[in-house]
Amino acid sequence: MSSIIKKTRVPQHTIPFKIGTVLSSNPITKTITVSIEKQHTFKQIGKTIIKPISMIAHDENLKAKVGDIVRIGNFKKVIDPKNYKKKYTLMEILDTKAERNAELLNKQKEKIAKFEEEQMEIINQSRLKRNKELETSNFRDVALFKDVYLLNNTKDVPVDTLKQIAERHEVSFNNDTQKSLLVKLLDFERYSSIVSKLENAQRHLTILNAINNIHNNKLEKLIDYDSFILKSFDEQKEILHDLTKSMSLDQLKIELE
């Protein structure tokens, strides 16, 4: 006895519109699987949880793609009882995954650009601060040399000028004479550091000149010429610095020049 399949229509009031995310798409059967969040309340403990539910919907034109946010509603056509789960049809695509990815990418780019601008601003401020400190220190160093030269080579410097020199270099002035103020400036820690910097620069220039004149007989006495000439320029500088570390500037000039 053959069974007769009855085609029925699902009432509209039993299937409201729902919004969810497309999980999968089957172009052969024109079917999409949509994940919809459903709230479930536990009356005994008074808590509400959100549970995802998968529903099958019909996509006639195959518009929806995985990741899209869609609105599904009543399947207006007659439904076959064999496919009773397919009670919904695609009504509208609310938001595509590509658009969301583009928005996220733009937000990420804006965030990175803002972060880079902040970092560059911090770097520029630190550079300006460093340059200002260098300019100030260089100005003070030049002023210190000028004042030392003035006190050493000028007779009878006025007291007001001596006070200005002491204030400029933050040195205590208690009715000091010209010679006593000169001694204070020469014993000044910054003056000694400047002198050491100049001495180091002269040592470095002497070593560079010796490397340029590598065929000098004096340089051949200090090093192994055959192995030294095969090394790089930086390695040659390090070797000469290590060899002449204990020498004074005058001894270094005698040995290398």
Select the CATH number that applies to the domain covering 12-95 from these four: 3.40.1380.20, 2.60.40.10, 3.20.20.140, 2.40.50.140: 2.40.50.140
In sequence order, the β-bridge partners of residue 72 are: 18, 90
Please report the DSSP string for 21-38 in residue order.
Answer: EEEEEETTTTEEEEEEEE
Asked if 63 contacts 93 with a C-beta cutoff of 8 angstroms, the reply is yes
Question: Confidence band (pLDDT; 50, 70, 90) for 125?
Answer: confident
Which amino acid is present at 96?
Answer: T
Tell me phi and psi for residue 94, to 5 degrees: -80, -40
**pLDDT of 1:** 40
Asked if 23 contacts 95 with a C-beta cutoff of 8 angstroms, the reply is no
Asked if 165 contacts 147 with a C-beta cutoff of 8 angstroms, the reply is yes
**pLDDT of 140:** 67
Segment 49-97, tens digit of pLDDT: 888 888 888 888 888 888 888 988 876 554 545 566 778 888 888 888 7
Asked if 39 contacts 45 with a C-beta cutoff of 8 angstroms, the reply is no
Most confident of 119-123, 139-143, 181-185: 119-123
Segment 192-218, tens digit of pLDDT: 666 666 677 777 777 777 777 766 656
Which sequence spans correspond to the domains of the chain?
Answer: 12-95, 121-187, 189-257
Q: Are strands 47-58 and 88-95 parallel, antiparallel or unpaired?
A: parallel
